[in-house]
Amino acid sequence: MAEKIYRVNMGDLSVRVEDVPAALQGLGGRALTSTIVASEVPPTCHPLGKYNKLVFAPGLLSGTRAANSGRLSAGAKSPLTGTIKESNVGGTAAQLLARLGIKALILEGLPTPCQFYALKINAAGIEIIPENDLVGAGNFAVVAALEKTAPKDWGLLSIGQTGERCQLAANISVKDPDGKLRSLGRGGLGAVMGTKGVKYISIDATDAPKSVALADEDKFKAAAKTFTKALLDHPVCGSALGAYGTNVLVNIVNEAGGLPTRNFRSGQFDRHEMISGEKMAEMIAARGGKNRHGCHAGCVMQCSQVFVDKDGKYVTSGFEYESIWAMGAHCGLDDLDLLAEADSIMDDIGVDSIETAVTIGLAMEAGVIEFGDGPGFLNLLQEIKKGSPQGRILGSGAAVTGKIYGLARVPVVKDQAIPAYDPRSVKGIGITYCTSTMGADHTAGYTVATNILKSGGFVDPLLKDGQVELSRNLQIATAAVDSTGLCIFVAFALLDDATALPAVVEMLNARYGLALTADDVTALGISVLKTEHAFNQAAGFTKAHDRLPEFFSDEPVPPHNAIWDFSDAEIDEFWNF
């Protein structure tokens, strides 16, 4: 099935199918979304206006039987940051779109006011249908309503109430193979989908091939086998993530003094063990949940899980370290059951759990509720759900909330909330926060792998030496991985197993009939970063925006009493490549 680009104009409710131009044929995932956004979206446009576009693209290996290749990229100009944005997710959508031959799906234009639509995608094309019944419903209700008549092999992308209201922290939910929800979380892309008047996109791959065509099936099979072995043999990919999920990091990062606590006032949380991956695994096992769960077909790491309550009733899935940190240590909460309930609410209303929990921590900083007030946390989520004046403030993210409440200690870069690693104690991730093209984003260049987990070597997290180069190399590698459709956690094997990267290159070659080398993959990552950086510069961003909030330089963080001590010139060296 020849790949095509599908362009949906919500202004005139038309669908165009286009051949893939030569310039885009070697791109997928993040490389494709960022290239399309950079070439078609005016950098200075309003992100909630008619000139912004929302682009979905499966990765270069999505739709194949490569392990952990089911990631989907979404891109637009971010309403949260004003920068270019790519968000990445598992679930079923990427593999189904790839099997249907959809290289990219582009949503453009604005619909008639006060009308929402559904997009229904199948082998015959895309149908645009007015949607009234599910407007105002949460994501769980959308899944429940559609699965009654959906075929077995179906996917879903939907927005909750916050996306409909175009709130800046709104995300896009994506159904996984078990009907659970994953999130295109950061950057407010749910708000962009809301401006387009699209409540949900359903994908029916019943009549599609079971996998995409390969140029050389034998070579692909051999490379895929080597790659899978590299993942399973790695202690992080093959063991730790499956046993404890990403939340395995709570105790590790706390021990390193990098677990931001009570709005970044300390690097350690005195009740960290109560919210740890070990504690969570113990609770799940005792209650009959699942400690190993894949967010997409073909995942061999199984780092997701199914968290149930004391009665064995489902509460949430994909209960991630970043979310647990933001609600837990950052807000002074230590009850995993309450955090799971909050995670479920955020999935349902469709907000980024990192941005929203950091924001509620700022409400605590402002005295709206106290640090450690669990019921108060849940009440504020209900305000966001209702769209009350206070809820609209909180649903607009940390930067807006900090300004409205008159706070000086607001942990954001380019208006996106800083995630779960204190940059004073883990200096490499601080460079990533500063220089990422998408605001504070740990996944853009995950130096924690080398700073803390000693994957790919070791660079002392408390020293400045080597951090800029480390972040740069990992940001380049991540941009390339995000373009393949592979899960970012394969990076551990890529860093430590000499067979892993050649296997990825060989899979790409066998998929498309190419002769790529590892240098070509690196060049792709560099190209992606340069494309995104150029967009941001044209949008008005300068070196002055590549900075951490000043309190990180002024306040030493216990237990190491570390400070952020990079000069502007040292940070600016990042882009000298």
DSSP state of 488: G
- With 0-12 / 13-18 / 19 or more C-beta atoms within 10 angstroms meaning exposed / middle / buried, residue 134 is middle
- The second-level CATH assignment, the architecture, of 215-244+424-577 is Orthogonal Bundle (1.10)
DSSP state of 275: G
Nearest to 181 by CA among 357, 354, 346: 346
Strand positions, DSSP E, 309-380? 314-317
11 CB contacts (<8 Å, ≥6 apart)?
A: 50, 108, 109, 110, 111
Task: Please give the full DSSP string across 40-51, using - where no structure is assigned.
Answer: HS-TTS-TTSTT
The pLDDT profile of the chain, 577 residues, written as one tens digit per residue, is: 689 999 999 999 999 999 999 999 999 999 999 999 999 999 999 999 999 999 999 999 999 999 999 999 999 999 999 999 999 999 999 999 999 999 999 999 999 887 999 999 999 999 999 999 999 999 999 999 999 999 988 999 999 999 999 999 999 999 999 999 999 999 999 999 999 999 999 999 999 998 899 999 999 999 999 999 999 999 999 999 999 999 999 999 999 999 999 999 999 999 999 999 999 999 999 999 999 888 988 899 999 999 999 999 999 999 999 999 999 999 999 999 999 999 999 999 999 999 999 999 999 999 999 999 999 999 999 999 999 999 999 999 999 999 999 999 999 999 999 999 999 999 999 999 999 999 999 999 999 999 999 999 999 999 999 999 999 999 999 999 999 999 999 999 999 999 999 999 999 999 999 999 999 999 999 999 999 999 999 999 999 999 999 999 999 999 999 999 999 999 999 999 8
CA-CA distances (angstroms) from residue 485 to 60, 219, 227, 402, 508? 6, 19, 14, 35, 11
* Coil, strand or helix at 509: helix
Per-domain residue ranges of the chain: 4-204, 215-244+424-577, 247-422
Neighbours of 454 (CB within 10 A): 12
What pLDDT does 2 receive? Answer: 85
* Coil, strand or helix at 14: strand
Contact in structure between 196 and 413 (CB atoms under 8 Å): no
Q: At what angle are helices 336-349 and 139-146 packed, to 10 degrees?
A: 70
What pLDDT does 152 receive? Answer: 85
CA-CA distances (angstroms) from residue 422 to 85, 224, 411, 503, 557? 23, 37, 10, 34, 9
Cα 311 versus chain centre, distance: 31
Nearest to 334 by CA among 276, 288, 293: 276
What pLDDT does 114 receive? Answer: 79
Nearest to 188 by CA among 37, 321, 352: 352
Q: In this structure, what is the dihedral angle of CA atoms 378, 383, 387, 390, given to the nearest 10 degrees?
A: -130
- With 0-12 / 13-18 / 19 or more C-beta atoms within 10 angstroms meaning exposed / middle / buried, residue 233 is middle
Contact in structure between 201 and 118 (CB atoms under 8 Å): yes
Give the gyration radius of the chain's Cα atoms: 22
Nearest to 170 by CA among 142, 141, 191, 201: 191
Residue 89, CB half-sphere, CA atoms under 13 Å: how many? 28
Neighbours of 568 (CB within 10 A): 11
CATH number for the domain formed by residue range(s) 4-204? 3.60.9.10
SS3 content of the chain, % helix, strand, coil (to 5): 40, 15, 40
Q: Which residue has the tokens 């769960």?
A: 293
Task: Report the greatest alpha carbon distance in the chain.
Answer: 62
336 CB contacts (<8 Å, ≥6 apart)?
A: 274, 275, 279, 280, 283, 307, 324
Contact in structure between 358 and 417 (CB atoms under 8 Å): yes
Distance between CA 322 and CA 312 in Å, rounded?
A: 24
* Tokens encoding 343: 């995670």
Distance between CA 433 and CA 413 in Å, rounded?
A: 7
- With 0-12 / 13-18 / 19 or more C-beta atoms within 10 angstroms meaning exposed / middle / buried, residue 575 is middle
CATH number for the domain formed by residue range(s) 247-422? 1.10.569.10
Q: Burial letters for 85-101: b for 16+ Cβ neighbours within 10 Å, e otherwise? A: bbbbbbbbbbbbbbbbb
Peptide bond before 423: cis, by omega within 30 degrees of 0?
no
355 CB contacts (<8 Å, ≥6 apart)?
A: 80, 169, 185, 186, 397, 398, 416, 417
Nearest to 526 by CA among 475, 491, 469: 475
